[in-house]
Amino acid sequence: MSGSGGRGGGGCSIRAIWILNSLDAVVFSRRFPVVEKRWRTACRSENEKVTENSLSYSVFSLFPSDSELAAAFVERKQREGSARGFGVRVSQSSVGSDSWVDDPITRHIIGLYINKEEEGDNNLLWPLILHIKGNYCILVLPLLEPRHVKAYARLCQRSDCGNAVGADESLSSLLLDLPSITGAFMVAHAIGDIVAGDAVEPEVLVSASPSVGGLLDSLTGSIGISGISSRAKPVAAPVASSIPSSAAVTGAVAVDAPKIGSRPLDKDSLRTFISSSMPFGTPLDLSYSNISAIKVNGFSSSDLPPADLKQPAWKPYLYKGKQRMLFTIHETVHAAMYDRDEIPDNISVSGQINCRAELEGLPDVSFPLTGLNTAHVEVLSFHPCVQVSEHGADKQAVMFSPPLGNFILLRYQARCGHGPPIKGFYQLSMVSEDKGAFLFKLRLMEGYKSPLTMEFCTVSMPFPRRRVVSFDGTPSIGTVSTTEHSVEWKIVSGGRGLSGKSIEATFPGTVNFAPWQTQRLPSSRSFLGSIADEDSDVETENSNNMVNMEEFIMEKMINNLPPVDLEEPFCWQAYNYAKVSFKIAGASLSGMSVDPKSVSIYPAVKAPAEFSTQVTSGDYILWNTLGKCPSAAAEKV
């Protein structure tokens, strides 16, 4: 890799940042002249090389104005069907478009063709990191070498049917070669959090009070401003709020869908953040809490660390005050429950250990992680402050120099150590076009012992494409309510949770829908639209030969289903299912735990360690046993 340490490719510098609103107008832009100058220089030398090699085209070295960029963005949006684009090559993909490259990541790393009058048409501006947050599209343009842009231009101009995996010149090798793209994503996400205003710190639970404030709290606490909480407590904000994958609710687009309303752009805080986190276009620290803490507090002489200690980047201030350590395990359970012989149920747990270390000085903390095997922990990823030693098979010692405030110490993926918290089946059968009979038979917390407590449990049957008119039936336990597009069954609710015993819940009933109306799709959304264009001759001979009522209804339902985004796991609306939401406290489901007694601190101080767990449901889906369901081949290890 001779060129890997080159000027542009090795480091991470940002040429420019744009933020576009939902009307595709640029509402914020920032360019970095220092980086731009480097880019021009690189282009010049590259283009000189080009003339020697008598290659005809050169790299677009100029910088687009805001309006040019907005125009190019709109043009791409039209060409590629949506702001993100098709992602894979479809019949509408045109040569030169991102989707021509046929890779889903082109929905995140996009190229724009800037039309400059003096430069001629179609100057490729690549790579633009596209991050959509709320109503805003954030575009970040990292610096790289002109040859990379050329390589990409070749990729999206290639005339053949597409790249084989592992071919010589590919997007993969470009991405591997370019940490600046990775860095630009980090920048984009950091800016996205600020734009959306949800730059929350991970939640740490304490037994006494529901949660503990973050860095600023500890700072203000330590500085001595008592009684002022500098930041609102995240009221029941689930851990998932910063985690995209678990936020998918009944097929709503997780990433693209605006979660918050039109919140005015806080340009001042954005400018401040950009100028201090990436001076001259080179990102230094993207931690919003660190940056704002430094901005609020500045540095005083008392903050100077002891000379013999190296103060890490993640701990700009030292803590002073009562010492303690808090650990919280957050787990999210994803499950696909089939109740079928041929498809095994699939339960997975994604968890993280959040930590807050209120320790004076710069101590090292260590504790052993045990039971990794029994917990079937697959993946372990750590905070940069953790010094990772060799992985043991079953044991993993964690040693870290904790930063200030709440942080995610580690993340893991595991299988469910216990049985599934909710077992059973859901059957829905359409007895007529507008009436469905359903039956739940569930067992909750089977084999779960105290202190595992289910705080609440709700089952909802979403019918996003039907309007629920009424329902009939009484559950063996709990209460039922309906909304326009769903039926909610609260099995466990209120103050008293379910602990130390298992219960069985059944719910037979019927649900009536408003008559089915064919919804025409807005054609712009169609994904493979034109090739599937209605062939008027395709017969729909459904008069008598449709034996199965259910199939007939299903066919009618799915016929005009819009294609889902590539960020979705499947087309949710094509299935009937019940989604379970619950919260379990007391222990982790994976078996992962931290023994407060075995936490050791060096240099030794007496600091109590507290440990808590919280398990919530992610996509916990009971597929309709009588209908279609998505599945995947069982993983073979």
Partner 1 sequence: MFPFSTLLFLWFLSMFRNRCCHPTVVLRIRIRRTSNYNYKELRRAMAFLLESPQVLTACGMVEFMAVIIPMAIALELQASMLKVQFFGMVYSYDPMLCHVVLKLYLSFYDAFDGQEVEIARRLMLISKEAQSFLVFRLLALHWLLGLNQLVMSGKGDKKKKPMAFDLMGLSFYPNVFDPLALKALKLDLLALCMESLKSKSDSEMGDSVEKVFEDGIVSVSAYKWLPPRSTETAVAFRAFHKFLIGGSSHFDTDPSTTTAIMESTIFHSLQLVPVIVAFVDRLLGCQKHCWLGERLLQTFDENLLPKVVMDYKLASCFPLFDRIAENDTIPPSRLLELLIKFMVFLVEKHGPDTGLKSWSKGSKVLGVCRTMLMHHHSSRLFLRLSRLLAFTCLYFPDLEVRDNARIYLRMLICVPGKKLRDMLNLGDQLLGISPSPLSSSIFNIQSPRTSNNIKKSRNISSYVHLDRVVPLLVKQSWSLSLSTLGVDSNKPGYLEGIRDSESPVEEREIDGSAEIHIPETETINQPQEPLRVMDSKISEILGTLRRYFSSIPDYRHMPGIKVRISCTLRFESEPFNREWGVDSSASGLDRVGALPAIYATVLNFSSSAPYGSLPSYHIPFLLGEPPRNDYASHQQVPLDIVLVENGNGEEESFRAPVMIELEPREPTPGLIDVSIVTNAENGHIVRARLHSIPIGIEDMFLMATVPSDIPKEVIPGYYSDLFSALWEACGSSSNTGRETFLLKGGKGVAAISGTQSVKLLEVPATSLIRATERYLAPFVVSVIGEPLVNVVKDGGIIRDIIWKDVASDSSLVDTTSVASFDRGPLHLTYFDDEDERDSVVSTSKRKMGCFLILIFLPPRFHLLFQMEVCDVSTLVRIRTDHWPCLAYIDDYLEALFLA
CA angle, residues 440, 446, 450, in degrees to nearest 5? 135
542 binds partner 1 (CB under 8 A): no
Site for partner 1 in 399-418 (CB under 8 A): 401, 408, 410-411, 413
12 binds partner 1 (CB under 8 A): yes
**Smallest separation (angstroms) from partner 1 to the CB of 608:** 26
CB 607 within 8 A of CB 601: yes
Contacts of 5 by beta carbon, 8 Å cutoff, 6+ apart? none
Q: Please tell me the distance from the alpha carbon of residue 116 to that of residue 125, in angstroms, as a whole number.
A: 12
CB 359 within 8 A of CB 605: yes
Burial 545-554 (b: 16+ CB within 10 A, else e): eeeeebeebb
Task: Give the ranges where 129-231 is alpha helix by DSSP (H).
Answer: 146-157, 171-177, 179-196, 215-223
Please spell the DSSP secondary structure of 531-556, one letter per residue.
TT---TT-----SS----HHHHHHHH
177 binds partner 1 (CB under 8 A): yes
Name the amino acid, one letter, at 318.
L
Give the contact letters, 438-477, x = binds to partner 1 (CB under 8 A), - = no.
----------------------------------------
How long, in residues, is the chain? 637
Q: Please tell me the distance from the alpha carbon of residue 504 to that of residue 495, in angstroms, as a whole number.
A: 20
Task: Give the ranges where 208-366 is alpha helix by DSSP (H).
Answer: 215-223, 267-277, 288-297
**One residue of 33, 162, 306, 447 binding partner 1 per CB under 8 A:** 162
576 binds partner 1 (CB under 8 A): no
CA neighbor of 589 nearest in space, from 263, 364, 335, 380: 335
567 binds partner 1 (CB under 8 A): yes
Q: How many CB atoms are located within 10 Å of the residue 372 CB? A: 21
Give the contact letters, 23-52, x = binds to partner 1 (CB under 8 A), - = no.
---------------x--x-----------
626 binds partner 1 (CB under 8 A): no
Site for partner 1 in 318-337 (CB under 8 A): 332, 334, 336
1 binds partner 1 (CB under 8 A): yes
Q: Which stretch binds partner 1 (CB under 8 A): 119-127, 226-234, 241-249, 433-441?
A: 241-249
Give the contact letters, 100-139, x = binds to partner 1 (CB under 8 A), - = no.
--xxxx-xx-------------------------------
Q: How many CB atoms are located within 10 Å of the residue 564 CB? A: 16
388 binds partner 1 (CB under 8 A): yes
Return the number of the residue (412 or 471) whose C-beta is nearest partner 1.
412
Q: Please tell me the distance from the alpha carbon of residue 193 to that of residue 136, in angstroms, as a whole number.
A: 11
255 binds partner 1 (CB under 8 A): yes
**One residue of 386, 404, 430, 457 binding partner 1 per CB under 8 A:** 386
Counting residues that bind partner 1 (by CB under 8 A) gives: 132
Give the contact letters, 500-529, x = binds to partner 1 (CB under 8 A), - = no.
--------------------------xxxx
397 binds partner 1 (CB under 8 A): no
160 binds partner 1 (CB under 8 A): yes
Give the contact letters, 201-240, x = binds to partner 1 (CB under 8 A), - = no.
----------------------------------------
Q: Is the dihedral of CA 561, 564, 568, 569 positive or negative?
A: positive
Q: Please tell me the distance from the alpha carbon of residue 624 to that of residue 439, in angstroms, as a whole number.
A: 10
C-alpha pair distances (Å), 34 with each of 40, 538, 566 = 10, 61, 37
Burial 106-145 (b: 16+ CB within 10 A, else e): bbbbbbbbbeeeeeeeebbbbbbbbbbbbbbbbbbbbbbb
Task: Give the ranges where 461-606 is alpha helix by DSSP (H).
Answer: 549-559
**One residue of 58, 66, 71, 185 binding partner 1 per CB under 8 A:** 185
628 binds partner 1 (CB under 8 A): yes
**One residue of 31, 77, 89, 441 binding partner 1 per CB under 8 A:** 89
**Smallest separation (angstroms) from partner 1 to the CB of 414:** 11
574 binds partner 1 (CB under 8 A): yes
Q: Please tell me the distance from the alpha carbon of residue 605 to that of residue 402, in angstroms, as a whole number.
A: 14
**Smallest separation (angstroms) from partner 1 to the CB of 498:** 26
Beta bridge mates, 400: 365, 386
Return the number of the residue (160 or 341) whose C-beta is nearest partner 1.
160
**Smallest separation (angstroms) from partner 1 to the CB of 323:** 21
**Smallest separation (angstroms) from partner 1 to the CB of 637:** 6
**Residue given tokens 């995610």 in the structure block:** 408
Return the number of the residue (123 or 616) whose C-beta is nearest partner 1.
616
**One residue of 20, 43, 83, 90 binding partner 1 per CB under 8 A:** 90
98 binds partner 1 (CB under 8 A): no
Site for partner 1 in 338-357 (CB under 8 A): 346, 348, 350, 352
602 binds partner 1 (CB under 8 A): no
Site for partner 1 in 273-302 (CB under 8 A): 278, 282-287, 294, 299
